[in-house]
Amino acid sequence: MNINTKILALKYRPQTFGDLIGQEVVTETILNSIKSNKVPNAYLFTGIRGIGKTTIARIVAKSLNCLKGVEKLCKENLCENCEAIAGSRHIDVLEMDAASKTGVDDVRDLIEFSRYGPTSSRYKIFIIDEVHMLSKQAFNALLKTLEEPPEYLKFIFATTEIKKIPITVVSRCQRFDLSRIKSNELFHFIKNVKDKENGKVTDEALKLIVKISEGSVRDALSLLDRALISLDDQKELDLDAAQKIFGYFDKSQLIDMFDLILKGKENEVIKNYRNIYDQGVEPKIFINDFLEILYYFKNINSLTLESTNFSLNDEEFNKIKEISNNIDSEVLILFWQFTIQTLSELDVVSNQHLSIEMFLLRLIHLMGFKLKEESSNHNVKMTRKKNDTQTETSSQVMNKESINQIKNVSQEKKIKSQPNIDSKVSSEVTIKSFNELVEFCTQKKEMKLKYELEKNVNLVKFERGIIEISFNENLDKDFVKDLSTKLSEWTNQRWIISFSKNQGEMSIKDKEKNKQKELIETAKKSNLYKNVLDHFPDAELIDVELLQKDDDQ
């Protein structure tokens, strides 16, 4: 087969230890063991896909059996043994795929074959790829031979699932954990391959390939191969074209969307997401990229542009840094939790696209970060100025147009610096019942607390300063801490929240469900429902809504 017709992953497969990238410690250790004639009975290579496990296994086999010796290992003009090993046809080097030969009978045949010495080389070598696929009985059959093999027999195992291999097997091998290839190293490698292939690809497009490959050399070469054949010879593959080919979108769109979320612009956020969706981006990919952006917003001050592994360019990095200065860390952590929750919800919804839109709307309304004009004379309306130093009381804002936006860190500090307003509000708040507490959570836009109180809490006793409850297994672990903190803040009084062994009252949601069931059962006994069934026998009553009468009727 002409080498020029090979795919890049095969064409540029390393043939010697010097060709390997990113595994210097492993190669140095193996070379030293071979040179000092202290070769272990079995090697075990583990790591993610495409980082060189099988490749290193073949290079080790060549190093042990090369006619020129390990010091002058064949690279171009291959000796008879090296050429046969590279082509997987050497009679003394057997490569076996454990995924297709998993049984104990296959291992017994292997052991039987190992009884005969090598015919044309120094060592007989068994290379078993994806060794974790062997059955338990197959591993047990291999143990004795693996621990005390003949001097001429060597095993080389490769796996991506080291935890699935019995510890008794691992302990009999010399284990090497192969690491992901660093982004800069992989970038220079595929750039060198691109130059050898006379490909026209921009550095930004190559960086995108590096990011998608996640440290896998084989993945990077396969993506580069796909990129080179996707365009005409006269065109250069730029970042925009690469994003379309690989189904990725511009990160700046996500950063702009995040900025719109913080500003509470619902329509623009949804429009922005639909533009991204129309580009062919799957909801799960969108959520994972959103998590990545959240991470950068939270940790941007401790990162450098190089440490983002080419995920961001200069402009995006600086924009995130600028926006993050006006965001409280608590907001970002809360966004992270809701995003993780949405990722798990995608597996149970039929229309993931709609679920993402609702997720974005929830972020906008989450925890009341979006300020709205209140009717109370004691509420404070915050308006960002150029210097972020001016505040207005609600009595002043009532005469002006309402401006909705997220509170930034400096504004939070200003609110806390006005004890005369906050203490006045707190001193006037009195919560006399459980229902008042739920209603107050609604007023304060503490929707998470409201949800827990209605859904997961059963009231046992409610007194001023004391709440005794029972709960179900879905109650958030931080509920008590969060509720007591908020109650103390609202009422300027310490509250004791205790758990009771008594079952307590039904939760508010359960009460609503029971009430609805009673309404449905009552409605089914009515003449109207019976008349409907006479005309529509298959009809089913699923909901009842009570109509409120006007006062003058």
- Among the ranges given (67-81, 154-168, 188-202, 207-221), the one the predictor scored with the smallest mean pLDDT: 67-81
209: domain CATH number is 1.10.8.60
Instruction: With CA atoms as reference, report the closest residue to 439 among 490, 394, 477, 405.
Output: 490
Write out the residue range of the structural domain in which residue 64 sits: 3-177
Average pLDDT over residues 474-485: 83
Instruction: State pLDDT tens for residues 517-548.
Output: 888 888 878 888 778 787 777 777 777 776 65
Average pLDDT over residues 126-155: 90
Average pLDDT over residues 483-493: 84
Q: Can you give the pLDDT at residue 30?
A: 92
Residue 316: how many CB atoms within 10 A of its CB?
Answer: 19
Residues 217 and 278 in one domain: no
Last residue of a domain, one of 215, 246, 277: 246
Q: Report how far residue 374's alpha carbon sits from residue 353's, in angstroms, rounded to the nearest whole number.
A: 34
Instruction: State pLDDT tens for residues 303-362.
Output: 776 666 566 767 777 888 888 888 888 888 888 988 998 888 888 888 888 889 999 988
- Domain membership of residue 97 (yes or no) is yes
- Report which of residues 510 and 44 the model is more confident about: 44
Q: Can you give the pLDDT at residue 408?
A: 43
Q: Can you give the pLDDT at residue 98?
A: 86
Q: Can you give the pLDDT at residue 383?
A: 35
Q: Report how far residue 497's alpha carbon sits from residue 201's, in angstroms, rounded to the nearest whole number.
A: 63
Strand partners, 42: 155
Q: Report how far residue 342's alpha carbon sits from residue 284's, in angstroms, rounded to the nearest whole number.
A: 10
Average pLDDT over residues 115-120: 86
Does the pLDDT at position 448 exceed 90?
A: no
Instruction: State pLDDT tens for residues 231-270.
Output: 776 788 888 888 878 877 667 788 888 888 888 888 999 9
- Domain membership of residue 436 (yes or no) is no
Does the pLDDT at position 74 exceed 70?
A: yes
Sign of CA dihedral 220, 225, 230, 236: positive
Q: Report how far residue 460's alpha carbon sits from residue 499's, in angstroms, rounded to the nearest whole number.
A: 9
- Domain membership of residue 533 (yes or no) is no
Residue 91: how many CB atoms within 10 A of its CB?
Answer: 11
pLDDT > 90: what percent of the chain? 15
Does the pLDDT at position 396 exceed 80?
A: no
Q: Can you give the pLDDT at residue 391?
A: 38
> What does the CA dihedral 61, 62, 67, 73 come to, rounded to 10 degrees?
-140
Contacts of 63 (CB under 8 A, 6+ apart): 17, 30, 31, 34, 70, 73
Q: Which two tokens stand for residue 356?
A: 């993402």
Residues 274 and 131 in one domain: no
Residues 236 and 169 in one domain: no
Residues 344 and 399 in one domain: no
Last residue of a domain, one of 177, 195, 216: 177
pLDDT band at 404 (very low <50, low <70, confident <90, very high): very low
Does the pLDDT at position 552 exceed 70?
A: no
Q: Report how far residue 113's alpha carbon sits from residue 65's, in angstroms, rounded to the nearest whole number.
A: 19
- Domain membership of residue 138 (yes or no) is yes
Contacts of 535 (CB under 8 A, 6+ apart): none
Q: Give the strand pairing for 124-129 and 153-159.
A: parallel
Q: Can you give the pLDDT at residue 387?
A: 39
Q: Is 449 strand, coil or helix?
A: helix
At residue 268, φ and ψ (nearest 5 deg) are -70, -35
Residues 315 and 242 in one domain: no
Continuous H helices in 394-474: 394-397, 409-416, 419-427, 434-443, 447-455
| Biggest distance spanned by C-alpha atoms of the chain | 107
Sign of CA dihedral 47, 50, 54, 57: negative
Instruction: Please state, rounded to an integer, the average pLDDT across all residues of the chain.
Output: 79
Q: Report how far residue 507's alpha carbon sits from residue 37's, in angstroms, rounded to the nearest whole number.
A: 73
pLDDT band at 392 (very low <50, low <70, confident <90, very high): very low
Residues 187 and 267 in one domain: no
- Report which of residues 172 and 305 the model is more confident about: 172
Q: Can you give the pLDDT at residue 422?
A: 43
Contacts of 514 (CB under 8 A, 6+ apart): 506
Instruction: State pLDDT tens for residues 6-57.
Output: 788 888 888 888 889 988 999 999 999 998 889 999 999 999 889 889 999 9
Sign of CA dihedral 127, 65, 144, 117: positive
CB-based contact 450:436 (threshold 8 Å): no
Q: Can you give the pLDDT at residue 303?
A: 75
How far does Cα 47 stand from its chain's mean position?
Answer: 19
Residues 42 and 164 in one domain: yes
Q: Can you give the pLDDT at residue 369?
A: 46
How many residues can be counted in the chain?
Answer: 553
Q: Can you give the pLDDT at residue 44?
A: 95
- Domain membership of residue 173 (yes or no) is yes
How far does Cα 214 stand from its chain's mean position?
Answer: 13
As for how many domains the chain has, the answer is 4
Residues 258 and 353 in one domain: yes
Q: Can you give the pLDDT at residue 371?
A: 38
- Domain membership of residue 478 (yes or no) is no
- Domain membership of residue 482 (yes or no) is no
Residues 36 and 144 in one domain: yes
Does the pLDDT at position 388 exceed 50?
A: no
Residues 15 and 164 in one domain: yes
> What does the CA dihedral 530, 536, 541, 546 come to, rounded to 10 degrees?
-70
Q: Which two tokens stand for residue 113?
A: 């074959």
292: domain CATH number is 1.20.272.10
Instruction: With CA atoms as reference, report the closest residue to 59 among 25, 15, 89.
Output: 15
Residues 59 and 172 in one domain: yes
Contacts of 463 (CB under 8 A, 6+ apart): none
- Domain membership of residue 480 (yes or no) is no
169: domain CATH number is 3.40.50.300
